[in-house]
């Protein structure tokens, strides 16, 4: 399900942990030691971010292998529990 490379590229879908929440997002910009990731509004709300973009350090995320797209975990936002659940 994950690729073996350590540094993603623009367009890669990644999975990382932030404040005890596992977040899925897409890389939209690369820097030398970090990348800018677009996340859903539900994740941004849960993390109390003002934007749907966040910075993640290389090595702190895993890259999904998009050849196995069907194996991506689904994500459901549950406002009544204020939680993002992965099933």
Q: What are phi and psi of 66, to 5 degrees?
A: -70, -10
Name the residue among 61, 41, 60 with its Cα closest to residue 50. Answer: 41
Can you give the pLDDT at residue 57? 96
Name the residue among 39, 46, 6 with its Cα closest to residue 24. Answer: 39
Can you give the pLDDT at residue 33? 93
- Beta 61-63 vs 21-30: how paired, if at all? unpaired
Tens-binned pLDDT, residue by residue, of the chain (87 aa): 444 457 999 999 999 999 889 999 999 999 999 999 999 999 999 999 999 999 999 999 999 876 665 555 555 544 444 445 443
Look up the pTM and report it: 0.72
């Amino acid at each position: 399900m994950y690729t073996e490379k350590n540094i993603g590229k623009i367009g890669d879908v990644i999975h990382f942990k932030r404040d005890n929440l596992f977040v899925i997002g897409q890389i939209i910009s690369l820097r030398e030691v970090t990348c800018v990731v677009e996340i859903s509004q539900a994740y941004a709300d849960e993390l109390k971010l003002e934007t749907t973009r966040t910075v993640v350090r290389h090595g702190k995320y895993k890259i999904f292998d998009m050849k196995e797209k069907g194996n991506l975990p689904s994500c459901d936002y549950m406002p009544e529990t204020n939680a993002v659940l992965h099933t």
